[in-house]
């Protein structure tokens, strides 16, 4: 994808990786539109980044996604890039029961949300000279974390969906790029994650992602160095060992 001159919509752009990518693309000379449920948080980000815009979106609500897509295209007719960043990650104690609501909410946010929004925006994106759909999966798409089974499953599904979408759209103007983060210093699992020395610093992750996007990898995947042990665990015969290691670290 081109790194400048785009109109980019980023879901979950009010915090964490979404905000970091929004600010990086904003600095690079793109019109950036962030979306999320928390209007006050969106306003905080746009106030700190003059020229950035925001729209409210409930990614779990299929009807809201469809209406939002129409609103976004009307307000920003040059829209040519969408980054599916919105996501939730919550532990589930399966044996204790009561996990189904968390699982359903995770699937609605992490998997159905990107699929619904892509379906709604794709006719517009296909009409653009250059366009891109960027998905945010996870290193846990390749080796799951036992304490977050549904989150891991949705990210594995996003990886699979991104591969298939890329193949189907390869003859069109729409690129499909998957970004797979490792464990990063955000508040995805709570405030303690943002200061966990075992997690990759957010600024370091963002800088490496932007550099990799600039280099345009042929695979369509953006895998930072710290995520490679997870991404290539199967190829290296390390799935069981890394699965056990993750379970011990985050159990």
Positions marked catalytic: 151
Strand order of the β-sheet with 221-223 is: 53-56, 31-36, 7-11, 81-84, 131-136, 174-180, 221-223
CA distance 181 to 95: 29
Which residue, chain included where needed, has tokens 């359903």? 104
Tokens of 144: 């799951």
Contact (Cβ atoms closer than 8 angstroms) between residue 117 and residue 58: no
Strand ranges in 26-160 using DSSP code E only, listed in sequence order:
31-36, 53-56, 81-84, 131-136
> In 154-220, which ranges are E strands?
174-180
- Tokens 């990886």 correspond to 159
CA–CA dist 26, 209 (Å, integer): 15
Inter-residue long-range contacts of 37-44, CB under 8 Å, 24+ positions, other chains counted: 38/14, 41/14, 41/15, 42/13, 42/14, 44/14
- Within 10 Å of residue 109's Cβ, how many Cβ atoms? 21
3-state secondary structure of 42: helix
Give residue for tokens 């890039």. 81
């Amino acid at each position: 994808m081109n790194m400048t001159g785009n109109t980019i919509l980023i879901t979950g752009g009010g915090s964490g990786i979404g905000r970091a990518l929004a600010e990086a693309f904003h600095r690079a000379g793109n019109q950036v539109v962030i979306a999320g449920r928390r209007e006050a948080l969106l306003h905080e980000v746009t106030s700190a980044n003059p020229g950035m815009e925001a729209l409210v979106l409930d990614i779990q609500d299929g009807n809201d996604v469809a209406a939002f897509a129409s609103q976004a295209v009307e307000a920003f007719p040059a829209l040519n890039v969408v980054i599916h960043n919105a996501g939730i990650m919550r532990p589930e104690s399966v044996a204790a029961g009561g996990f189904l609501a968390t699982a359903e909410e995770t699937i609605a946010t992490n998997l159905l949300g990107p699929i619904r929004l892509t379906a709604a925006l794709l006719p517009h994106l296909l009409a653009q000279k250059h366009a891109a759909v960027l998905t945010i999966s996870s290193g846990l798409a390749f080796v799951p974390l036992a304490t977050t089974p549904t989150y891991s499953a949705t990210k594995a599904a996003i990886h699979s969906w991104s591969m298939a979408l890329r193949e189907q759209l390869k003859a069109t103007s729409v690129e499909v790029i998957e970004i797979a983060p490792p464990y990063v210093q955000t508040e995805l699992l709570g405030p303690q994650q943002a200061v966990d020395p075992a997690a990759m610093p957010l600024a370091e992750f963002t800088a490496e992602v932007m550099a990799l996007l600039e280099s345009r990898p042929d695979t369509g995947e953006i895998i930072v160095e710290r995520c490679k042990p997870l991404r290539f665990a199967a190829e290296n015969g390390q799935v069981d060992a890394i699965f056990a290691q993750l379970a011990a670290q985050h159990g």
